[in-house]
Chain A
């Protein structure tokens, strides 16, 4: 176990993590400034997960969340386990070979999203009674009004909101990896995780199409919910 954790960490990992956290924080802030309907505050976390492994990803996520909580939004604090698992899961998926082509990265994003939704549910329910300080709580509130149980209302909200964000995040992290030289990537603990398989343009289009469909689906559901 300890050896497995240690494998994630070489000097490149230790130097990458601060940069990755800064990418998380700064991207998250820019997205808020540009008023985009996603968070994109875990690109760095997913990047570390993919290049270095699950434990390095988990550490990056956790520290990012703590710093975000201290410096930007105190309400982010209690959610560090979610950030932990986003990093862990993206690393796990990359170890399993799901960070090598566009469609696999979409799968990774989806799995990470489900993980985030599942991990955040107990925090939301037990700490906040389902209603948090996030905008998506309006959806939860609505679902509760329609008579759904608290667990299912929170979980459905998570399933609705997370995939778009986490798939976009994973794809951006993958795009960054594509832009880095193999020689540079080779210094990290797990370069084999990101050795790209041939797939090319069509796959990218399919991946983008999947995201667009998901966005439309989420928008449609939201309209139904808020309009109904």
Chain B
């Protein structure tokens, strides 16, 4: 069942002429893990802000079309109700630290305090969330004393703890090493399997191929491709349109031209490439 529906969505920021999103149509089912890819300026962040309600409620500007999450239309709602359904974490972790708290534990509880979760319920929820993202050992540290990657985990945890129906993430692993990235993608996958819907803007295509259910490719504010990771990420359209693609895909494509790659399906991840070249 679709929990997120975008119908002919077009959006212009205030004081600008060109729309950042144009006729975007998108449906996301409950519990689905959808990745959004696109070159810089394709509208990935704006799409995230739209799903999270900040477009139009915070950024104002001109939004036409229908944005519906969990049966509520964005124009019919207000931001403070919207964020109960949709959680947002974005790229720069430093700016996501509230500043109102002295420890990571309190920082994670900040959202729960704001939406009035009773104290007795709050502590176990924070502890569970900390354990899930693997930062229980940071609970008593000051959020400002952490590394960029650790701060990104705090930002993600602060949103996860609020248990939104839809989780919107805009490059949440930009400051993490490969090990950290793998762990966080694993957490996101787990959340999706537990029924949380995830929309993730990301350019780490190899991880997307390994973890996401579906990929949407955005180009100039329009949906270029929408489908299974294996199809979308290996489509020849992507390279032409200036997307960053997996080096395994480009290698295999060359190999295919030279007759060295026998399969129809091109690989995205190292494992797929190894397997393909072996056969």
Tell whether, in the assembled complex, residue B14 and residue A186 are in contact, meaning their CB atoms are under 8 Å apart: yes
Tell whether, in the assembled complex, residue A186 and residue B58 are in contact, meaning their CB atoms are under 8 Å apart: no
Tell whether, in the assembled complex, residue B13 and residue A18 are in contact, meaning their CB atoms are under 8 Å apart: no
Write out, one digit per residue, whether chain A residues 151-168 have a CB within 8 A of any chain B CB (1) or not (0): 000000000000000000
Nearest chain B residue, comparing its CB with the CB of A11: B58
Expressed in whole angstroms, the Cα–Cα distance for A182 and B59 within the complex equals: 12
Chain B residues with a Cβ closer than 8 Å to the other chain, count: 8
Tell whether, in the assembled complex, residue A18 and residue B99 are in contact, meaning their CB atoms are under 8 Å apart: yes
Chain A interface main SS type:
helix
Tell whether, in the assembled complex, residue A183 and residue B14 are in contact, meaning their CB atoms are under 8 Å apart: yes
Nearest chain A residue, comparing its CB with the CB of B99: A18
CB distance from B12 to the nearest CB of A (A): 12
Q: Which of B96-124 contact A (CB under 8 A)?
A: 99
Expressed in whole angstroms, the Cα–Cα distance for A183 and B13 within the complex equals: 8
Asked if B262 CB lies within 8 Å of chain A CBs, one says no
Nearest chain B residue, comparing its CB with the CB of A191: B14
A-B contact count (CB 8 A): 11
Residues of A within 8 A of B60 (CB): 186
Chain A residues with a Cβ closer than 8 Å to the other chain, count: 5
Asked if B15 CB lies within 8 Å of chain A CBs, one says yes
Expressed in whole angstroms, the Cα–Cα distance for A18 and B97 within the complex equals: 14
Expressed in whole angstroms, the Cα–Cα distance for A182 and B60 within the complex equals: 13
Write out, one digit per residue, whether chain B residues 189-233 have a CB within 8 A of any chain A CB (1) or not (0): 000000000000000000000000000000000000000000000
Expressed in whole angstroms, the Cα–Cα distance for A153 and B141 within the complex equals: 54
Nearest chain B residue, comparing its CB with the CB of A10: B58
Q: Which of B218-262 contact A (CB under 8 A)?
A: none
Tell whether, in the assembled complex, residue B13 and residue A187 are in contact, meaning their CB atoms are under 8 Å apart: no
Expressed in whole angstroms, the Cα–Cα distance for A187 and B13 within the complex equals: 12
Expressed in whole angstroms, the Cα–Cα distance for A187 and B58 within the complex equals: 8
CB distance from B31 to the nearest CB of A (A): 31
Residues of B within 8 A of A187 (CB): 58-59
Residues of B within 8 A of A183 (CB): 13-16
Residues of B within 8 A of A18 (CB): 99
Q: Which of A120-151 contact B (CB under 8 A)?
A: none
Give which listed residue, B15, B58, B99, contacts A182 with CB less than 8 A.
B15
Q: Which of A167-197 contact B (CB under 8 A)?
A: 182-183, 186-187
Residues of B within 8 A of A186 (CB): 14-15, 60
Write out, one digit per residue, whether chain B residues 10-51 have a CB within 8 A of any chain A CB (1) or not (0): 000111100000000000000000000000000000000000
CB distance from B10 to the nearest CB of A (A): 19
Expressed in whole angstroms, the Cα–Cα distance for A13 and B59 within the complex equals: 15
In this complex, the member of A18, A182, A183 whose beta carbon has the largest number of chain B beta carbons within 10 angstroms is A183
11 examples of A-B residue contacts, CB within 8 angstroms: A18-B99, A182-B15, A183-B13, A183-B14, A183-B15, A183-B16, A186-B14, A186-B15, A186-B60, A187-B58, A187-B59
Since A183-B13, A183-B15, A183-B16 are in contact, a sample of 8 more A-B pairs with Cβ atoms closer than 8 Å, ordered by chain A residue number, is A18-B99, A182-B15, A183-B14, A186-B14, A186-B15, A186-B60, A187-B58, A187-B59
Chain B contacts to A: CB under 8 angstroms: 13-16, 58-60, 99
